Every structure is written in C-alpha cells, then in structure tokens.
Structure 1
Amino acid sequence: MIILVKLLLAHLIGDFLLQPKSWVTEKEKKKAKSPKIYLHFLIHGALIVILLGIEYWGLALYLMLIHGLIDLIKLYFQKSNNWVHWFFADQMVHLSAIVGLWYFYFEPEIDLSFSPAFWIYLTALILITQVAGITIQLLLAGWSKKLDLSEGASLQNAGKYIGMLERLFVFVFVITGKLEAIGFLLAAKSVFRFGDLRKSKDRKLTEYILIGTLISFGISILTGLAVLWVVENI
C-alpha cells in the first residue's frame, strides 16, 4: 500500500510542484516540439526512482512513458473551450495508470526510515495546498470571467497563500479532532470579508466567494477524514 502512496506522491510533485506555469504555456504552444515536455517526463521518472529506489527503475520507465503519452494526447486534443475537462480527464487517466501498474508490478518491501503515516500526511499536504488551489481555480473559472477580480491594491499572490493556509488550518483541525475550530475559522473569514462585500454590493461576488470558501473547506475536511481512516487502517 505504501508503494502506491509514494507513486501518487511522485505524480503530485512532478505535475504540480515541479512544473512551472511557463513550462505549461510553452508545452501548449509548441506541443511535442517543446523541450520542457521531455524534461517533465524525466522528472516524473526520477521522482519514482528517488522515492522507491533504483531497483524500481523499470516501473519508473513504464510510468514515465505512459505519462508522456497521456500528456501528448492531451496537448493535441485540448482546446480553449474544453481545457478544464481535459485537465480532470488527464489526471484521472494518470491516476488509473499508476494504480494499474502498481497492481501488476507491486513489490512489498521498501525499507525506509520514515513510517507509512509520514508519506500519507505528506501526500495529503501537497493535495490540499497546491493541487486543491489549482482545482478550485479551474472549477470557478467560468464564473470568475464574469466578475471584476482585478487585484488593485491587493498583495501579489495573497489570495493563493491565504487559501493554502486556510486549508492547512482546516486539515489540522480535522486530524486533531478540533472540529469546532473550523466554525471559528469560517466566522473569522466572514468578518474580514464582510467589509469588502458590503462595499461592492455585488451579489455575484458574494456568491463566488461563498462557493470558493465552501469548496476549499470541503476539500480539507474530506482529506482530513480520509487521512485519519487510512492511518488507522494501514
């Protein structure tokens, strides 16, 4: 089981932490002619070897080639009007390939000093910070185009980091059993946002912020509950 968790961790790091937006833009423009796409594949393979060990180079090679094929198909078929669907389809196919190869290639022993719980929590942290932020942005993309979300005097990337911290707090509250603290956090955010919403008098903006907040809290709560269940049953 822990091998599967590490494979998922390698995928999350390779696709979300070690893939700058500039690489994505270049790949979408140049497709197979972009050197960044091949570097991206190599990073995925290297991450699997680092996390599992050099003896799993064959599994790393298979997953690297499959990952590359999936990404190339996505680049040539996604359009500006369906890229959100292709993002989720791409991730689902990647995860299916990882689970499938793990099932047929599984080797039970990798002796590392870290406990299984460490890898589970690390995977969850990446999920609720980077992955969840991009997912929420994609889910709300259709509505955000209809709103004036210009940053103005706002700090650069402030919203991104506020969302990450918000989800981290909720996740910690869930795994420590302090569920009542989530209510206080939600109330505190409402107080801070009240002034902006009152000045804007924009019902659409209010609904947009409310939906984003609920999705953010929901992802963190569900991830926390899932982690508690997995840790108790490994």
Structure 2
Amino acid sequence: MAEWQTLLLWLIIGHVVADFYLQPMSWVNDRNNRHFKSTKVIWHSLVHGVLAFIALAVWQHNYDFGVSSAAFGYATLVTVSHYLIDIGKSYSSKGVIPFLLDQLAHLLVILLITFNLSEPFHISEQLLSFISTPSNLIIGLGYLLVLTPASVMIRMLLERWAYMGNEEESLPQAGNLIGQLERVLLLTCILIDSWAAVGFILAAKSVFRFGDLTAKRDRKLTEYVMLGTLVSILVTLSVAGLITTFL
C-alpha cells in the first residue's frame, strides 16, 4: 500500500470515529438548535483535530518523515473546516442530501491534506492507472447497465402485461429502486463468486413477497411480480456473464 493511501485511510478512520462514535446526540441537537452559539460543536471539532493530529504524527513517524509542524497545521485545518462545515449544515434542512453534502465536504478536506502531504504526481498517476485499467472499466460498465438501463429494458419488456393496481398502497418508485438494489447486490455476489449469497437474496425477497401476494389473493399481481423478478435476474446474470467473459 502506498504512503498516501495509508494516510488517507487513517484520516478517514479518524473522521468516522469522531463523527459517529465520539459525538453524542445531545451535541448534534445543541448544534442544530444553537448554531454558531453552540459550544458542543467546538468540542466536536477539537476531537476531530486531535484525531487528525494523531493520524498525521503517526504517519510521519512510521515513514521516517519526522513529526513536523505540518501535522499541527493540518490538524488545525481539520478543526476549523469541520467547525465551519457543521455550522453551515446546522442551518440546512434535515435529510440525506444535506448529510451527504456534509460528509463530502469533510472528505474533500481530507483529500486536500493527503494530496498536499504526498507526491501529487504519484497520486494522480496511480488514480489514473486505476480508472484506466480495462477490467475496472468493464466492471464499472456492468454496474451502470444493471441500474437505469436494465430498469428501462425490463419496463419495456413487461409493458404489454403492465399491472394497473392501486399505486397509493406502495411508496413512489419503490419497486424500481428495489429492483436496482437487487441487481447491484446480485451482480456483486456473482463477481465475488458468492453464489450462496445470491440464493439468500432471492430467498429473502421471495419470503417477503409471498406474504404480500398471499394477502392480496391477486393472481395477476403474482404473475407480474414473478415475471419482473425473473427478467431482472436474467438481465443481471447476462451482464455478469459478459463481464466474466471479457475479464
């Protein structure tokens, strides 16, 4: 493992520990209610800074760089940036989008630190090599195919048997999302050669669906769901077969 990868992992581990294990819910509520007047967010940011300093110092020591003032400087950057990002998030609405944007902003700071402390050309060269590797491109294309393109094709194949049920009884777009997640899980299990997990996923879905379909006593719905599931599995197996053939 390259030096920059070790540093990146240590900084991310420190972030995860500080953000999700060392931050009580009372601190989160205090930040959301009091915003920049909150003292808890200051303590939380300092925890991030301390863990970042430890990660940086240990990394420098392990690679014989010598613990320099840069560790303290970048740990201060983590502290200040985390405070500003969290204060900004406290004014946003709750939900997954603000959460993801918040985590992405923190990750960008970590990437910036890693990039500055390591050899930029070396990092860029390794990343470019990774994304340019044909096998990685083929796998990435496979995952793209089993998401929206597969959903469109399945919908077109089943269009003549479209089931016109009561849409108010289900979540909007839930069926489409379930199908996409199912195909991603199946493709992943096939690529890592875990066929037992494939059987478990299909069995688990069948158990949940069985109770729902039995309660409705709707033969058309049962047949439609079976068709959709089988076509979805067939598409995933086809994409997985193509991937393994090219690899």
TM-score w.r.t. length of structure 1: 0.49
> Which structure has the bigger radius of gyration?
2
TM-score w.r.t. length of structure 2: 0.46
